[in-house]
Amino acid sequence: MNAEKTRKDHISNATLLQGETDPLTDRPVHLLQLDGIGKHYGNIIALRDVTMAVDNGRVTCVLGDNGAGKSTLIKIIAGLHQHDEGTLTVMGEERKFSSPRDALDAGIATVYQDLAVVPLMPIWRNFFLGSELTTGFGPFKRLDVEKMKEITKNELADMGIDLRDVEQPIGQLSGGERQCVAIARAVYFGAKVLILDEPTAALGVKQSGVVLRYILQARDRGLGVIFITHNPHHAYPVGDRFLLLKRGKSIGYHHKKDITLDELTGQMAGGAELAELAHELEAMGGHTDILAEVEKETASIGGESKAK
Amino acid sequence: MSNATLTTPPILAADERVGQKSTMSKLLGRPEIGALVGAIGLFAFFALVAPTFLQPSSFATVLYGSSTIGIMAVGVSLLMIGGEFDLSTGVAVISSALAASLFSWFFSFNVWVGVFLALGVSLLIGLINGIILIKTKLPSFIVTLATFLMLAGLNLALTRLIGGSVSSPKISAMDGFDSARAVFASSVNVAGVDVKITVFFWIAMVLVASWILLRTKVGNWIFAVGGDANAARAVGVPVAATKIGLFMGVGFCGWILGMHNLFAFDAVQSGEGVGNEFLYIIAAVIGGCLLTGGYGSAVGGAIGAFIFGMANKGIVYAEWNPDWFKFFLGLMLLIATVVNLVVKRRAELK
């Protein structure tokens, strides 16, 4: 029960800052901060004026439909692309990552949709792939198999993953479990910022729930999480901040305390589109009471965005 | 205190989901199990139909036949686990032998100079195969098919150009020949039976390869580049270096066998070796290495080579028409591939 209570306190949204300030300017420092970030490919503007922040133990959700610029954004943070405008700061220091390795060294790890796991290899070999632990010297330098298995098992147990056997091929795990191994791997190898690229996109309802729980686990271990998704129902329960993207532009950046799930969904779908949908439904002879509700919602969203 | 018994963690070893996996099913999950069952079956079969098969001297002959395939199968198995193919191996063995022979003969050097030059040539062939593969991103089937043809042509052309004949000149009278023969082509007396030295090379190479594969970083990388090269690259595995290294490993195996061929017969036919590359691949496949990479073992390749050796010599001891040999080989290949397919599906499915 006690653990439950501390967890509740931990995710309290009274303040999203960690109390750290820049000694010179006395302004709050975020773990990762984007300020007016923009990116264009030739004359095509992929991303424009995006501002967001990530803190330790907080989840920042990036929401948007297909083509909204979500992947451009994560590619900039992960070091695959470089931004053309604005600033990207890590722990108060301005950075521009030249390669994924560069971003990784700064503590930014990305778990892509394809996860970068080798299906036929055992879980523990996948966990340590590319960063194997060895023991012994010279020609007798060998893998420290026992230690790696133990660490894998413990790390996954810490994430709340109850594993049958770390020897089994990772391909035998469910999509959600594989996602979690990839997350646990990033956490173990010193990630401070974890970018999750649509982790729930290919999963069923139950598996998505499992992954969402692991996102909270990662958050509770003090990581700053960037959760990319197009599903507000997945984002709202775990997120602390929400960045909404549409056609390469930020259409809203909210703290959880300032927004409800309905408003979030409404903004994502876009007030104008909802109104259009209402007209269409009306023309087809839909239920009038539902239509009235949709229209009311449209009006409220419209009013709100005008107020801003 | 009273609820201390309630909070005792459950005994981990007694996880009911692990307990269901019996020793038998664990054994069946090994890549070489199909080949092992096949080898035992084939051994029992020939022991029944050909009593001479069981004599120690016949068995030493079977082992020798197996080793000449098995030495190459070690490198080819590892390469196949790494997701690539090498069709140039058969002629590359002859290239290595010719390089040693022609160089020593032409310059009248000690044959050991030629032996080490041949090592360089063999590693270089592997290096070139690997670099072309990485740079062009063509399938290894095409790249090594091209190397195969080029090497086959070079073997014939250079041998005629330098030695003036289709076979390399005899070098048995040259300096260092006897010591080189002792290293590469002698026999060791084991309990009254002469066992060819290649058998010991073979066993040592299988042990070293197994060690590399299962207990070193490089082994982990070999499985990874064969299983999913993109995933391996994403987590920082040096994919290009691993693949090039595997091709060079095949080159090294080719050098050992090439040197054996040279010093066992003291001259080499320049047109030999064509078609042998398939025997090495067949041994690896029968031994449970997946054609698509990422799965297999060095021991499996060795068992595959042993099956080949038994079928090859067993037919002779059984006094059958050797024409049947190819049929046997094809049948075993088919069965082995089907078994591999089943294993892979089971590994991928939940």
pLDDT in tens, chain A (308 residues): 444 444 333 333 333 344 555 555 555 678 888 888 898 888 888 888 888 888 888 899 998 887 788 888 888 888 888 888 888 888 878 888 887 778 888 888 888 776 678 888 889 998 888 888 888 887 778 888 888 988 888 888 877 777 778 888 888 887 778 888 888 888 888 788 889 888 888 777 877 888 888 888 888 888 889 999 888 888 888 888 888 888 888 888 888 888 888 888 887 776 666 667 767 777 776 666 666 776 676 666 555 444 44
What's the Cα-to-Cα distance from B127 to each of A200, A256, B134, B135, B251, rounded to whole Å?
Answer: 43, 58, 11, 12, 8
- In this predicted structure, what is the pLDDT of residue B247? 95
Angle at A174 between CA A172 and CA A178, to 5 degrees: 90
What's the Cα-to-Cα distance from B93 to each of A127, B100, B201, rounded to whole Å?
Answer: 39, 11, 16
- In this predicted structure, what is the pLDDT of residue A5? 40
Entry pTM: 0.78
Kindly list the residues from chain B whose CB atom is less than 8 angstroms away from the CB atom of residue A186.
none
Closest alpha carbon within chain B to A117: B231
Identify the bridge partners of residue A62 per DSSP, sorted by sequence position: A228, A243
Least confident residue range of A15-29, B63-77, B113-127: A15-29
Helix (H, G, I), strand (E, B) or coil at B85: coil
Kindly list the residues from chain B whose CB atom is less than 8 angstroms away from the CB atom of residue A116.
230-231, 234-235
Residue spans per domain, chain A: 13-107+191-262, 119-189, 270-302
Q: Say if the Cβ atoms of A130 and B236 lie within 8 Å.
A: yes
CATH code at B57? 1.10.3470
- In this predicted structure, what is the pLDDT of residue B19? 46
Task: For residue B5, give how far its alpha carbon lies from the nearest alpha carbon of chain A (Å).
Answer: 19
- With cut-offs at 50, 70 and 90, classify the pLDDT of residue B148: very high
Instruction: For chain B, list residues whose CB is within 8 angstroms of any CB belonging to chain A.
Output: 15, 17-18, 21, 211, 215-217, 219-221, 223-224, 227-228, 230-232, 234-237, 294-295, 344, 347-350
- In this predicted structure, what is the pLDDT of residue B350? 41
Q: Say if the Cβ atoms of A118 and B215 lie within 8 Å.
A: no
Kindly list the residues from chain B whose CB atom is less than 8 angstroms away from the CB atom of residue A130.
221, 224, 232, 235-237
Q: Say if the Cβ atoms of A112 and B230 lie within 8 Å.
A: no
| Within a domain: B348 | no
Residue holding tokens 């064509």? B274
Q: Say if the Cβ atoms of B227 and A115 lie within 8 Å.
A: no
Given the cut 0.90, state whether the ipTM is greater than it. no
Q: How far apart are the first and last CA of chain A?
A: 41
The answer to whether residue B37 scores a pLDDT higher than 60 is yes
Helix (H, G, I), strand (E, B) or coil at B89: helix
- In this predicted structure, what is the pLDDT of residue B41? 84
The mean pLDDT value for B299-306 works out to: 92
CATH of domain A13-107+191-262: 3.40.50.300
Q: Say if the Cβ atoms of B215 and A145 lie within 8 Å.
A: yes
- In this predicted structure, what is the pLDDT of residue A169? 84
CB burial of A257-291 (b: ≥16 within 10 Å; e: otherwise) equals eebeeebbbbbbbbbeebbebbeeeeeeeeeeeee
The answer to whether residue B311 scores a pLDDT higher than 90 is no
Q: How many CB atoms lie within 10 A of CB A85?
A: 15
Q: Say if the Cβ atoms of A131 and B235 lie within 8 Å.
A: yes
Residue holding tokens 């595995």? B237
Domain count, chain B: 1
**Which tokens hold the place of B171?**
């070098």
Closest alpha carbon within chain B to A114: B231
| Extended strands (E) in B98-242 | 187-190, 193-196
d(CA A156, CA A182): 10
Residue A121 at interface with chain B, using a CB cutoff of 8 Å:
yes
What's the Cα-to-Cα distance from A258 to each of A225, A265, B241, rounded to whole Å?
Answer: 20, 14, 53
Residue A148 at interface with chain B, using a CB cutoff of 8 Å:
no
- Cβ-proximal residues to A120 (8 Å cutoff; 6+ apart), any chain: A169, A171, B223, B227, B294, B295, B344, B347, B348
| Within a domain: B26 | no
- In this predicted structure, what is the pLDDT of residue A285? 67
Helix (H, G, I), strand (E, B) or coil at A202: coil
- Out of A66-70, B109-113, B328-332, the most confident range is B109-113
Percentage of chain B beyond pLDDT 90 is 43
Nearest to A118 among B21, B217, B294 (CB): B294
Choose, out of B220, B292, B348, the residue to mutate when testing the contact with A (most A CBs < 10 Å): B220
Kindly list the residues from chain A whose CB atom is less than 8 angstroms away from the CB atom of residue B349.
172
The mean pLDDT value for B34-43 works out to: 82
- With cut-offs at 50, 70 and 90, classify the pLDDT of residue B26: low
Residue A172 at interface with chain B, using a CB cutoff of 8 Å:
yes
List own/partner pairs for B263-267 with CB under 8 A and 24 or more apart. B263/B177, B263/B180, B263/B181, B263/B183, B263/B184, B263/B185, B264/B181, B264/B184, B264/B185, B266/B170, B266/B171, B266/B172, B266/B177, B267/B101, B267/B167, B267/B168, B267/B169, B267/B170, B267/B171
Closest alpha carbon within chain A to B350: A172
Residue type, A237: P
Closest alpha carbon within chain A to B226: A118
Specify the length of chain B in residues.
Answer: 350
What is the average pLDDT score of chain B?
A: 85
Closest alpha carbon within chain A to B225: A118
Helix (H, G, I), strand (E, B) or coil at A260: coil
Kindly list the residues from chain B whose CB atom is less than 8 angstroms away from the CB atom of residue A143.
215-217, 219-220
Four-residue CA torsion sign, B21, B24, B25, B26: positive
Kindly list the residues from chain A whose CB atom is less than 8 angstroms away from the CB atom of residue B17.
164-165
- In this predicted structure, what is the pLDDT of residue B130? 94
- In this predicted structure, what is the pLDDT of residue A137? 81
Task: For residue A76, give how far its alpha carbon lies from the nearest alpha carbon of chain B (Å).
Answer: 17
The backbone torsions φ and ψ at residue A229, rounded to the nearest 5 degrees and listed phi first, read: -160, 165
Kindly list the residues from chain B whose CB atom is less than 8 angstroms away from the CB atom of residue A119.
227-228, 347-348
- In this predicted structure, what is the pLDDT of residue A3? 43
- In this predicted structure, what is the pLDDT of residue B245? 95
| Within a domain: B25 | no
Q: Say if the Cβ atoms of B228 and A118 lie within 8 Å.
A: yes
Q: Which domain holds residue B168?
A: 33-340
For B253-287, how does the pLDDT look when each residue is reduced to its tens digit (9 = 90+)? 999 999 999 999 888 888 888 888 999 999 998 88
